[in-house]
Structure formats: C-alpha cells, structure tokens
C-alpha cells in the first residue's frame, strides 16, 4: 500500500528538489495508530507484546517498521514504582524506549517525565559496566576491573570472619532508595546482623512519628479521588515523590468538585493549581492546624460519633484531669480550654497567613467531614525542630472530622500495602546495634543514619564491612564532609562496598563499586499506598525476560544485562552462600530452594513462591493458562484488593476471641498479655495498633518516655522561628527541601532529558527582600550556615514568601579531576582542599561541558550551570524525639564577597561536631518503663529479638 492521495504540484517540486522526503513512492504498511484522535489512551494489546510492530520514529519518511518484544517492569526513579513497558527491538536486542503500563493499578499507564527517561539512564555513556576495586588509597580515584567471583569471595570472607568473631554489629547495610519488600530483612536476619540502616531520618521520620503516635501507623494513605477537600503540607510528595499516582487522583478529585489547599512558603506547582495557597512561615504549620481544629470544634463540625467511639478521650480525662467526671461533654469543654490560645489571630501572628483565610479553610474542612484527605511527608514534617507535631496536628483534623479510613478520607498506609509471604523466615537477630538505634533516641523513626560519622568519630563503634545501596550520603545528607572524613578512615570503616548503578560522590570513597541495575535491569516487588487499594507490581530485568522469550540460556541476570551489571537479589544469595560455604553458620539453610531439596534457590523460585501465595493471583493467572509467575512476567502488576475502608471496624473472629478477656472500663480486648482489639457498641473490633486500640489524642507513651509536655497534639516552635532571627543582620529561614518535579535526589544526573530541563538551583527570594539587599536575579549571594557557607545565585520572584528563602535540593552534583567521569550531564568539576584539620573548601573548576561519547547528544550540551551543593554546608539537626534531621536552616545572607565565586563552599567539621553535640544534649535517653530501649508497640526497622528491647535483659518482664 502506498500513500493514497496524489501529490500536489508543490509537493512534487519539493520532493524532486529533496526539500521534503518523497512520501509517494514509499509503501505504507498501514499499521494502526495508537495516538490518533480519541486514541491517546490506547496501548498495544498484551496478546501482541511478544511481537509488536510499529513505525520506526527515526525513519518516519521511509515508513519503516520495527518488531518489538514488550516487557513490563517498574520505574525506579521515585518510590511509587509506576508501571513501565520496555520496548526491546527483536532484531538488535536493544531496549529502545519505555512507556507506561496500563495494567499497573496505581499509575494506570501514565508516568511523570522521570519514567520514560529511564531510557537515558540505561544508555548513559558514563555508567558503570563492571565490578571495580580501588587501587591506591581510598578516595584517590584509581580503580581496576575485577570479576564478580573475586569481589564475592573477598567480601564473603571478611563477613564470615566478623561473624565467627562475634563482631556482628560491625556489618551494616545502608539503603538509599529502598524497596524490596522484606528481601533485605530476610538476608540480615539470616546473617544474625542488626545491620539495617536507611535514609529515613533525612526524609520522613518527623511525619512518621506524628502519625504513629496517633494510631500506630506511620504513613497516611489519602483517598484523593473521592475527597471533597484536600490539604497538602507537602510540596515534596505531590510534586516529586508519589508524584504521578497521587497527582492523577488529586486531579480526579478536583474534577469532581474537590477543593485543594497547599501549605507551603513557596508557590510550588501544586500551590499554583490550588484553591488556597497558605504560605506559612516555616515551622508555624501546627499553629495553623490547631487553630483550624479549634474552629471545627467551636462550629459544631466535629464528628462526635467517631471521636466518642474511636478516640481515647476518657483516658485523657482520667490522666490529665483526675476528679473530672468522665463524660464526653466534659471532654469537649476541656478540649476547647486546651486550645483556647489557638485563635485564628494567633495562627496569623505565627504563620503570616490571614486569620480570615485560616477560618475559611477550617470551615471547608469541617464541611467536607469524612471526605477530607490530607498529607504531610517531607516539607514541614522534615524541616523543623518538632516537625513531627505538624503531622500530629494535621491528623487531628482527620480525627475531628471522622475522616480516618473513610471514602474520600485518609487511611493508614498499611491498609493499602501488600506484604509478601516468604518461603522461609529466619529468626530475628539477637543483636541491637546502637550505632543505628542509640539510646539517646528511643522514639526515633528509625535509624539515626545521619549521625553515623559522628558516632564513629566519638568511638562508639566501627564498621568492618559497610554496604551502601543506591545511597549517596556524601552528597544527599547534611554535613557531607564529615562523611568524607569517616569514609576515608580505614580504622573506622574497614571496607566500603558501594552497590550503585552510577558513580557518585560516596562511591568515590569506596573499596568496591559494584554495578547494580537500573529500573529495567533488576528484580523487585513493589507495593505502595497510592490510593485505596492494594496492588503488587513486579520489577523485572527486561532483557532477562526477552532472553527467556527468545529461548536463550543463562544463569544470572548479569549475563543478559549490559556489561556485567547485576542486581542485588542474586548478589545477596550468592554472597550468603559464600559466607557460609559449609552451612556451619546456619546461613545457607535460608537460601535453599522451596522446590528442589537442598539446592540453592533461584531468583525465579523466590518470586514464584511469593506470587503463588497472593490471594486470587494463581486463579487469575489460571484463567489464561498461566502460572502466577508467568502472569506477573506478562502483565507486571496485579490488584490484590480495592476500596479498603474502615478496616479498624473489622470484627475479631470467634476463634481468635476464645480465651481473650475484655477490660470493662476501657473495652480493650487482650489475649496472652497482648492487646488484640477493642469492644465498641458491644462488638469486638480490631481497632488500631496502639496501647488503647484507639486513636490516641492523649499519649501515655509520651509521659512514660519523659516528654509529658507533649501528651496531646501541640505546637512546637521551630529552630527557625522568627524569635531566632536577627533580621538586621540578614537572617532568614532557608527551606532547602523542595523538589523539582523532573529530578530525583542524586539519580537523575544520568538522565539527559531531565537534566536538560532542570540543571541549576538558585536561591528563591521575594522581590521585597531582594530590594533590601539591592539584588537582582543572577546576582551572587553568600549563604552562611552554622558550619560554613555556600555561594549561589539569587532568583528574585513573587512566588516566595517575603522573609523566607528556598533552594531546591537536587543540584550541585560534583566530581573531582581524579574521579571517574560520571553523570557528566550534571556534574561540576570541583577542587576540594583540606589544608587544615576540619576545614574544607570546595571550588568549582568548571561547570557542565559538552563531551565526546557514543551518545551524540553529549556534544550538544548547551547548559553549563550545574548548581551548587548546599546540603554539604548544613550541620546535622536531629530532632530529639522523632530523630528527624530538621532540614531548615537559619542562614545569614550577604551580598557575595569580592573574592567569592559561584559554587564556592566552606565547611568546618569541628563546628558541625559541636552542633551535633548541642542537639544531642536535648535528648531524653532510654531506658523507658521496664528498662525498655524503645516502646514495644512502636515499629522498628528490622525488628530484633524481643529480649534485645531491654537495656539490661534482666529487666524483661
Ligand atoms: S512518579 Fe515518576 S518517577 Fe515516580 S515511579 Fe512514577 S514515573 Fe517513576
């Protein structure tokens, strides 16, 4: 078939003169168009995924076509793990592009810009293709290629020796981008190592603590699509983290009439689309939320039935107001008295948001009632001393409106998250590692990861073998020079193994750099609370599945991935076998096939077992004549359940009630000394996993753990409160936490499309503040922190609250001249000097430049500004309760000094150690009741054996 219409004279002339391609002599195969009018949501049908033919975009005028094998996987560029379809050219075996997977229940075929940009990452000319071992001194930049066998044997021997010598606490695994749904917990338990460390304390501990103290769940799951009013205290989440699945549903809710309010001192993309922008002073959010709570109570908009049934108001009266008759009317009266000072006018004074607006939004929330959806993740929860109180105050609004777990309300995360069943569960480790869970922070959520360099410096312990997994603390964390000092010291860190897809600032200080796959090059399962429903997705190495479809023989994923890029799953199995070559350590037994007695488990068998044990999946697969594993390989995702509401009302089955007792006063149902539910209206319900099995307005836990001033939702003044500012001297609160929607912390630097869109991070400053300094956009300023300074450009904008400045946290990536070339789309070349102990200086030698590579686009780089590394100039600010690093900084801003150059950085790590000590002095250490290290009812990552929860195990009762 050729083009049907006859060429016009003009077309003929243009074709003859080769001004346009000759379109009339070309045979057109007449393939269906998926993007024609009304067809934007069409995708290739799954029955054609083994052989999908479509036009070749780079040869459009010739009407050439290509045949593809389409393999589903999931995106790795933020936590939400949206579905992707990898298109593999059947002729060349090359992955050509990624598009959305319509069978993924959370992303539903849609992605943000970071999803399809996965193709840039796998084709990045600077990526690490082979295992590398350092030559020369650590951090000197010399590397040699080694085999996987050599690396595995070396690392395994070291771990085996440490375990045999009882140095279990010297082995640590530190994860940046998590996932894996329990995979690493299994590995570390099998090793009997309390070695899990994570990035949580620089991310979400504040919000987690605030939610947990209410109801034993540490994350919210808003039902945006069905809400009538949505309140977000999270520019981070909805513009970067759960960006796409949440954004879709917020838009659906709004199209259905929901109103949106965004609380943020910066006019974020989300705030710009909202009905209400509430530009609060950083750290004042809880004051505003408590004022809203007061209005809701005063206006009679409280859901009394929910509060009466599901809040421990009676315990509050008994403990806080002994002698007062325990009636709900008395509770309401006390409630109003508790919050009497939180008038809208007080909230305006603290926040700078007009009292009338606060009142209007409060009434909207009250009217939305059980359809009020809210979220707080990083943002205020992670920025401020006492930031956890923001999430607690926000959830108070959900409690008052009875929107906990309702349609259009906000559910606990665990209701909408899948938990896998494993073929084998090693016993919990018998160790408690105080390098990760120190006694000073008994309530922290979770590991005090940002303090590790200081703990090592103080001699609290050392690390024999330290794995970092997709983790870059030198750059992402505060106080990166303290990390460089720790990682450079072989006495403190015996061996550092960086498991990473790309070179990064932390990997430069490793002994082994082991290349791990990007999204489409590794196995994993994912499940997140993106909406009301439970789903599970399968991240699979697409070239492995392609090889299987093509009948190719292989054993390990690195045999089909580019170079020798591997994946952690198979790596940990192989490493575990080599740590325990004869089975005498009891490790090997946890890595045996559930299907082939005595033989090593394969990665297919690992996932086969999990998928076979998902409710309904084997039956669904059988409808197509597939096994559960085959189904997941084919579709990449499965919806386990939908519409999970009011699960706290689930009745306890009669067989579980046998032998249980009910406390007549509280209604708490317990069995074998454990609270299992609560009696409401004569029915035995599971309730919430708190000591009272209810929402805890009053927290006895806070009293027991020495914080009686915070027994109920409270406002805590931030370390960047106005009272701390000397405005005459140029003090400002700096908000350094906001995300750009197209970037990821330190993993978008190898994506050329994303870096092309966003490549610098100026300091946002309001016009009125800029006028005071005589600044215009592009001028240089020196931003002084408590431990040093950075020199950046200023961006003058009306989109920033006056008196507050902000700087995005993605940019300012760097490498030194001696380092391997990596991420050159985004890295400045810098010089780092450390002429005097503790005094570090960084200067930019050059910015981003075009370069020669296999990718022609690398010569076309037109941007030169790679931004400024601000985080490295921040001291650690560990919140004494939640353990959250409080990111906001009180900074002193000056017009740049004559000698200052863009990107200059100075830090004094002696000062950063002193700031750490100061914040540490505010803690109230364990033990708590009964000698406990941590409340037993709190979550703990990689929960160790019960007896380890007691500082002296003889205290165990
Ligand atoms: S929201 Fe974007 S970055 Fe995150 S998983 Fe989805 S496509 Fe990837």
Question: How close is the Cα of 668 to the center of ligand 1, in Å?
Answer: 42
Question: How close is the Cα of 747 to the center of ligand 1, in Å?
Answer: 12
Positive or negative, the CA dihedral 892, 893, 896, 902 is positive
- DSSP letter for 501, please: S
Atom of ligand 1 at shortest range from CA of 81: 5
- The burial class, CB within 10 Å (0-12 / 13-18 / 19+), for 16 is exposed
Q: Which residue has the tokens 């009669």?
A: 654
DSSP sequence for 781-849: EEEE-SSEEEEEEEEEETTB-TT-EE--SS---EE-TTSPP--TTTPEEEEEEEEETTEEEEEEEE---
| Low-confidence spans in the chain with pLDDT less than 50 | 1-2, 40, 957
Atom of ligand 1 at shortest range from CA of 112: 2
Question: How close is the Cα of 105 to the center of ligand 1, in Å?
Answer: 14
- Residue 67, classed as helix, strand or coil, is strand
pLDDT digits (tens, 9 = 90+) for 643-663: 899 999 999 999 999 999 999
Tokens of 234: 């999270």
Q: What's the confidence (pLDDT) of residue 2?
A: 47
User: In whole angstroms, how large is the CA radius of gyration of the chain?
Assistant: 28
Q: What's the confidence (pLDDT) of residue 1?
A: 43
Residue 520, CA distances (Å) to 66, 94, 122, 243, 468 in order: 21, 12, 8, 20, 20
Residue among 948, 780, 955 nearest 437 (CA): 948
Atom of ligand 1 at shortest range from CA of 80: 5
Atom of ligand 1 at shortest range from CA of 100: 7
Q: What's the confidence (pLDDT) of residue 757?
A: 94
Instruction: Centre a 10 Å sphere on the Cβ of residue 425 and count the other Cβ atoms it contains.
Output: 13
Question: How close is the Cα of 741 to the center of ligand 1, in Å?
Answer: 10
Residue 186, CA distances (Å) to 526, 530, 587, 856, 944 in order: 16, 25, 11, 44, 12
Ligand 1: residue whose CA is nearest its atom 2: 112
Question: How close is the Cα of 75 to the center of ligand 1, in Å?
Answer: 6
Residue among 176, 76, 82 nearest 120 (CA): 76
**Any idea what the Cα angle at residue 471 is, between residues 466 and 472, rounded to 5°?**
100
Cβ atoms of residues 105 and 116 within 8 Å = no
Atom of ligand 1 at shortest range from CA of 118: 8
Positive or negative, the CA dihedral 339, 340, 341, 345 is positive
Question: How close is the Cα of 97 to the center of ligand 1, in Å?
Answer: 15
Per-residue 3-state assignment (H helix, E strand, C coil) for 109-141? CCCCCCCCCHHHHHCCCCCCCCCEEEECCCCCC
Name the residue of 85, 115, 240 whose CB sits within 8 Å of the most ligand 1 atoms, as the mutation to test its pocket. 115
- The burial class, CB within 10 Å (0-12 / 13-18 / 19+), for 757 is middle
Report CA dihedral (529, 532, 538, 539) to the nearest 10 degrees.
-40
Question: How close is the Cα of 514 to the center of ligand 1, in Å?
Answer: 25
Q: What's the confidence (pLDDT) of residue 37?
A: 53
Question: How close is the Cα of 603 to the center of ligand 1, in Å?
Answer: 25
Report the alpha-carbon distance of residue 925 to residue 444 in Å, rounded: 11
Beta bridge partners, 53, equal 67
Report the alpha-carbon distance of residue 403 to residue 391 in Å, rounded: 15
Question: How close is the Cα of 622 to the center of ligand 1, in Å?
Answer: 31
Residue among 636, 501, 633 nearest 562 (CA): 501
Q: What's the confidence (pLDDT) of residue 21?
A: 75
pLDDT digits (tens, 9 = 90+) for 685-701: 999 999 999 999 999 99
Name the residue of 74, 76, 77 whose CB sits within 8 Å of the most ligand 1 atoms, as the mutation to test its pocket. 77
Atom of ligand 1 at shortest range from CA of 744: 3
Tokens of 697: 């307005």
Question: How close is the Cα of 528 to the center of ligand 1, in Å?
Answer: 12
Q: 632-646 burial by CB neighbour count: b if 16+ within 10 A, else e? A: bbbbbbbbbeeebbe
Name the residue of 74, 80, 754 whose CB sits within 8 Å of the most ligand 1 atoms, as the mutation to test its pocket. 80
Atom of ligand 1 at shortest range from CA of 243: 1
Q: What's the confidence (pLDDT) of residue 672?
A: 92
Atom of ligand 1 at shortest range from CA of 245: 1
User: Which protein residues touch ligand 1 with a CB less than 6 Å away?
Assistant: 75, 77-78, 80-82, 107, 111-112, 114-115, 243-244
Tokens of 559: 């045999």
Name the residue of 110, 112, 240, 535 whose CB sits within 8 Å of the most ligand 1 atoms, as the mutation to test its pocket. 112
Question: How close is the Cα of 392 to the center of ligand 1, in Å?
Answer: 28
Q: Which residue has the tokens 């998902």?
A: 614
Question: How close is the Cα of 500 to the center of ligand 1, in Å?
Answer: 19
Ligand 1: residue whose CA is nearest its atom 4: 78
- The burial class, CB within 10 Å (0-12 / 13-18 / 19+), for 626 is middle
Atom of ligand 1 at shortest range from CA of 115: 7
Residue 827, CA distances (Å) to 53, 587, 789, 821 in order: 39, 42, 20, 9
| For residue 927, cis peptide bond before it (omega within 30 degrees of 0) | yes
Q: What's the confidence (pLDDT) of residue 957?
A: 46
Residue 383 phi/psi, 5-degree rounding, is -95, -25
| For residue 483, cis peptide bond before it (omega within 30 degrees of 0) | no
Atom of ligand 1 at shortest range from CA of 113: 2
Question: How close is the Cα of 573 to the center of ligand 1, in Å?
Answer: 29
Q: What's the confidence (pLDDT) of residue 36?
A: 54
Residue among 276, 244, 497 nearest 365 (CA): 276
Ligand 1: residue whose CA is nearest its atom 6: 82
Beta bridge partners, 469, equal 175, 499
The pTM of the whole model exceeds 0.85: yes
Q: For residue 185, how far is the Cα from the chain centroid?
A: 18
Name the residue of 243, 519, 746 whose CB sits within 8 Å of the most ligand 1 atoms, as the mutation to test its pocket. 243
Residue among 381, 338, 39 nearest 204 (CA): 381
Question: How close is the Cα of 525 to the center of ligand 1, in Å?
Answer: 15
Question: How close is the Cα of 12 to the center of ligand 1, in Å?
Answer: 46
Residues in Cβ contact with 182 at an 8 Å cutoff, skipping those fewer than 6 apart? 419, 420, 422
Report the alpha-carbon distance of residue 225 to residue 214 in Å, rounded: 24
Report the alpha-carbon distance of residue 376 to residue 211 in Å, rounded: 10
Cβ atoms of residues 506 and 468 within 8 Å = yes
Q: What's the confidence (pLDDT) of residue 62?
A: 81
Report the alpha-carbon distance of residue 756 to residue 616 in Å, rounded: 44
Tokens of 730: 């140029």
Residues in Cβ contact with 477 at an 8 Å cutoff, skipping those fewer than 6 apart? 202, 449, 450, 483, 871, 885
Question: How close is the Cα of 239 to the center of ligand 1, in Å?
Answer: 10
Name the residue of 76, 83, 111 whose CB sits within 8 Å of the most ligand 1 atoms, as the mutation to test its pocket. 111
């Amino acid at each position: 078939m050729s083009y049907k219409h006859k060429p016009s004279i003009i077309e003929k002339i243009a074709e003859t003169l080769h001004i346009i391609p000759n379109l009339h002599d070309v045979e057109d195969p007449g393939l269906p168009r998926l993007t024609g009018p009304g067809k934007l949501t069409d995708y290739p049908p799954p029955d054609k995924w083994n052989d999908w033919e479509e036009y070749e975009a780079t040869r459009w005028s010739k009407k050439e076509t290509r045949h593809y094998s389409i393999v589903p996987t999931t995106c790795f560029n933020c936590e939400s793990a949206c579905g992707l379809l990898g298109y593999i050219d059947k002729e060349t075996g090359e992955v050509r592009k990624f598009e959305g997977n319509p069978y993924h229940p959370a992303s539903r075929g849609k992605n943000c810009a970071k999803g399809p940009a996965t193709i840039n990452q796998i084709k990045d000319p600077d990526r690490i293709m082979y295992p590398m071992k350092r030559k020369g001194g650590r951090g000197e930049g010399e590397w040699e290629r080694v085999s996987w066998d050599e690396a595995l044997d070396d690392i395994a021997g070291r771990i085996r020796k440490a375990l045999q010598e009882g140095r279990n606490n010297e082995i640590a695994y530190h994860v940046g981008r998590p996932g894996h749904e329990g995979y690493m917990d299994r590995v570390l338990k099998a090793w009997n190592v309390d070695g899990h460390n994570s990035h949580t304390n620089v991310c979400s501990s504040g919000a987690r603590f605030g939610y947990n103290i209410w109801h034993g769940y540490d994350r919210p799951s808003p039902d945006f699509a069905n809400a009538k009013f949505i309140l977000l205290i999270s520019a981070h989440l909805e513009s970067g983290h759960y960006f796409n699945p949440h954004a879709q549903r917020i838009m659906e809710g709004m199209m259905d009439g929901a109103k949106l309010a965004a609380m943020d001192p910066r006019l974020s993309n989300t705030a710009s689309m909202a009905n209400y922008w509430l530009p609060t002073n950083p750290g004042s959010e809880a004051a505003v939320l408590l004022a809203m709570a007061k209005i809701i109570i005063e206006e009679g908009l409280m859901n009394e039935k929910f509060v009466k049934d599901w809040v421990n108001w009676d315990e509050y009266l008994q403990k806080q107001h002994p002698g007062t008759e325990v009636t709900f009317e008395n509770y309401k009266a006390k409630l109003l008295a508790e919050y009497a000072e939180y008038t809208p006018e007080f909230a305006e004074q603290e926040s700078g948001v007009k009292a009338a607006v606060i009142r209007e939004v409060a009434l909207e929330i009250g009217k939305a009632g059980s359809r009020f959806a809210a979220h707080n993740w990083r943002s205020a929860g992670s920025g401020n001393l006492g930031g956890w109180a923001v999430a607690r105050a926000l959830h108070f609004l959900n409690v008052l409106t009875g929107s906990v777990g309702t349609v259009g309300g906000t559910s606990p995360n665990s209701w909408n998250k899948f938990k896998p069943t494993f073929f084998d569960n090693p016993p919990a480790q018998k160790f408690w590692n105080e390098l990760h869970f120190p006694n000073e922070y008994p309530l922290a959520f979770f590991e005090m990861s940002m303090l590790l360099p200081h703990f090592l410096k103080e001699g609290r312990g050392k690390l024999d073998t330290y794995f970092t997994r997709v983790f870059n603390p030198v750059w992402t964390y505060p106080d990166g020079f303290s990390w460089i000092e720790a990682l450079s010291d072989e006495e403190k860190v015996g061996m550092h193994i960086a498991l990473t897809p790309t070179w990064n600032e932390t990997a430069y200080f490793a002994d082994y750099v082991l290349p791990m796959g990007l999204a489409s090059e590794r196995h994993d399962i994912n499940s997140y609370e993106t909406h009301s429903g439970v789903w599970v997705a399968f991240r699979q190495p697409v070239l492995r599945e392609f090889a299987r479809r093509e009948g190719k023989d292989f054993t390990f994923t690195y045999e089909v991935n580019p170079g020798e890029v591997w994946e952690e799953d198979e790596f940990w199995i192989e490493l575990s076998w080599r740590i325990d070559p004869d089975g005498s350590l009891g490790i090997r037994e946890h890595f045996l096939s559930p299907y082939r007695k005595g033989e090593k488990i394969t990665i297919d068998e690992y996932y086969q077992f999990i998928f076979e044990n998902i409710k309904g999946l084997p039956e669904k697969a059988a409808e197509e004549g597939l096994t559960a594993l085959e189904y997941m390989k084919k579709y990449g995702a499965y919806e386990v359940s939908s519409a999970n509401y009011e699960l706290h009302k689930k009745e306890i089955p009669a067989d579980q009630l046998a032998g249980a007792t009910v406390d007549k006063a509280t209604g708490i149902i317990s069995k074998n000394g454990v609270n299992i539910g609560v009696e409401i209206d004569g029915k035995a319900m599971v309730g919430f996993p708190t000591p009272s099995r209810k929402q805890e307005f009053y927290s006895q836990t806070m009293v027991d753990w020495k914080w009686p001033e915070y027994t109920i939702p409270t406002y805590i003044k931030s370390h960047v409160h106005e009272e701390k500012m000397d405005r005459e001297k140029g003090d400002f609160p700096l908000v350094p936490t906001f995300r750009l929607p197209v970037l990821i912390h330190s993993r978008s630097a190898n994506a050329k499309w994303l870096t092309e869109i966003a490549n610098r991070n100026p300091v946002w400053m309001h016009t009125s503040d800029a006028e005071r300094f005589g600044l215009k956009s592009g001028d240089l300023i020196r931003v002084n922190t408590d431990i040093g300074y950075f020199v950046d450009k200023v961006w003058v904008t009306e989109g920033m609250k006056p008196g507050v400045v902000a700087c995005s946290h993605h940019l300012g990536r760097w490498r030194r001249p001696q380092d391997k070339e990596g991420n050159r789309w985004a890295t400045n070349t810098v010089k780092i000097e450390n002429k005097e102990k503790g005094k570090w200086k960084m200067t930019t030698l050059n910015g981003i430049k075009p370069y020669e590579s296999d990718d022609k686009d690398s010569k076309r780089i037109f941007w030169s500004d790679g931004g400024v590394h601000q985080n490295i100039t921040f001291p650690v600010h560990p919140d004494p309760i939640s353990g959250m690093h409080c990111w906001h900084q009180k900074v002193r801003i000056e017009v740049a000094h004559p000698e200052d150059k863009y990107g200059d950085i100075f830090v004094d790590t002696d000062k950063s150690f002193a700031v750490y000590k100061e914040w540490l002095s505010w803690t109230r250490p364990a033990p708590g009741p009964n000698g406990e290290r941590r409340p037993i009812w709190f979550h703990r990552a990689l929960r160790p054996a019960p007896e380890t929860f007691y500082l002296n195990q003889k205290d165990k009762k």
